[in-house]
Structure 1
Amino acid sequence: MANEVAEKVHCLIIGSGPAGYTAAIYAARANMKPVLYQGIQPGGQLTITTEVENYPGYADGVQGPEMMVHFEKQAARMGADIRFGLATNVDFAGPVHKVQIDEGKWIEADTVIVSTGASAKWLGLESEQRLNGYGVSACAVCDGFFFRGKEVAIVGAGDTACEEAVYLSKLASTVHMIVRKGQDGMKASKIMQDRVKNTANIKIYWHSETLEVVGENKVTSVKIKNNETGQEQEIPVSAFFVAIGHQPNSDIFKGWLDMDEAGYIQTIPGSSKTNVEGVFAAGDVQDKIYRQAVTAAGSGCMAALDAERYLSAKGVV
């Protein structure tokens, strides 16, 4: 670590999704003079989402990127110092927390709020990325509503994939579930497997992989291949949901913050506190269950309030 520390702040917020911006709003109003670094994807996952209809306060819905502009403007209006930049290293060894930005300057912070989010895992298809937001989605709960009464496909074999397939079955006419392995290789719990198998409008394709998501400006079908028979087929669908997991953006905190086996930061129940005093976590980086914008915003509020109480107890603010 460099000997010179360029800046000292009361509250450093890492990440700029609903959790980070909400934390910034509350921290700024509490006179904590928060500095927020937006990270590699300013605005978080919502910037690659189209219509958002389930966030309270938007009676007619809102585009994901537009909503995050609103969040950012509100945080800035409250006095948050919002900056471009990516946290690339941390040192939480002492009472003052050190965070490196863009592999360059270091910041000393009395409190740190980690709201770096999580990234959906993708299959790696060109067509999947090209049609992301145009029928391709990694969140059935977020986007399933738009495909009521239509045929959709979902890929995955874990509990999340099964839960989302069942959820979609209540909206879509048919759910085509693509599973790479056979029944013996399905990762989901038995109860979730049984629920999927017993849902009449879920059709499972075992031993199958996705070759291509088809469509120009929207999804029209999906091409799959049965790896046992070699047979290929094209299934007409209006949406393609990827449910192969999420990866929390927590790598730089490994060795400092307690995490579960998947890399999600663990917080003390009922709080945003981590195992390091003065370091708090909010949003999808610590939430593998709900993963919604509204729950992320709520946990961002919690983190700011926890940080304020911590600073007050220390006599800092």
Structure 2
Amino acid sequence: MSNNRSKYFNYIEEKLTGLASRIDGRAKLNLLDFNVHSENFYLHFFNLLYSIELTSMNKESHNTEAVDLIDKKNKIVIQVSSLNTKTKIEESLSKKSMEIYKGYTFKFISISKDTRKLKIDTFHNPFSLKFDSEKDIHDIHTILKDILSMDIEKQKEIFTFIKKELGGEDDPIKLDSNLAIIIDLLSKENLSKTTDTIMKNQFDINLKIDHNKLISSRSIIEDYSLYHTNLDSKYKQFDLEGCNKSLSVLNSIRSSYLEECHLNPNESADTIFFRTIENVKSKVEGSSNFIRIPVEELDLCLNIIIVDSFIRCKIFQSPGFQ
């Protein structure tokens, strides 16, 4: 993922997940005003995202229960909800008022909750609306997955829209990160004196490479694995400054990896590997305490810490060896 793609996607993800979290939290307090605002937001957002022509049912003289948004041209009706239950969807599909929308596609948007279990369920649909639970139930995860696969110009367009709708007047405040600190420490290490020392309890790296079907990234893993002892010494130095310093770095890398796996379950292992590097790079460059270094040195350090995470089994499946 290019730097701009990472910047656009990370910002979009942050704002959409933040909105979902606020809606969920306020719903628990019975504060539902965000639901109304979200309905209007998703109207314009989905029009942009999927090139459709939704309008609000509030503008219709015959406001239909269970339908919030409608696209008459493409024959789509949408319900926007903070719930994610089978009962909610079936109640909507069963409303007598839905009879006039026979031939329309019904879509359900859960604006704050996960819908993965719903997508594999079956539903009572008495008025035979077009409804495929796998394709027509949306949540933040499915929306982000669609955005991730779009070309960079479309991502930029969505980024601009999200920033206008959900962003503040100023750019978000950058925070310090331990990732940036470990990059700084490693960049000052004389890596030319590195020798191929075997880490204690190190498994056969090639077994893990083969197990995960890594092909184009094999040479990177093999080349940079010899630096793990250098990084290990930096982690030990870092941990003298406080508890969980190195653990937080490794968990941040793992989080980036797991996010890629979740959003791109059908991508190759090599694609996940390189996208993880780019995502970690974005985190580092977005940190307020990142000390600028030449891009070649930054890439060197990033490759070292990602490969080290691979060796430590923080990313990719272990073949069962230690």
Same fold (TM over 0.5): no
The structure number with the bigger radius of gyration is 2
More helix by share: 2
**TM-score interval for Structure 1 and Structure 2 normalised by the shorter chain:** under 0.3
Q: Which has the bigger relative contact order, CA under 8 A and spacing at least 6?
A: 1
More strand by share: 1
TM-score by length of 1: 0.18
